[in-house]
Amino acid sequence: MSPLLLRHLPFDHGYAWQGEASLLDRLTKAKLDGASVQHLMGSVQSEYTRLRGPADA
């Protein structure tokens, strides 16, 4: 997993998902540039694909 993605994902002990608005607020406060946002999107897509496993499974 990308170090940049790990830095911005919620990792607090006992973190309770509070919806997309909370994540958007967290990422907005990080003041990421366009290249960093693109990197995060690619990292999320790669991680999702990896966790999903093979298409024929």
pLDDT digits (tens, 9 = 90+) for 5-17: 777 776 666 666 6
Beta-carbon count within 10 A of 23 CB:
14
CA distances from 33 to 15, 29, 41, 52 (A): 26, 12, 13, 29
> Whole-model pTM?
0.58
Region of 23 please: left (phi>0), alpha (psi -120 to 50) or beta: alpha
CA pair distance 4, 14, nearest whole angstrom? 22
pLDDT at 23: 78
pLDDT < 50 stretches in the chain: none
Contact call for residues 6 and 44 (beta carbons, < 8 A):
no
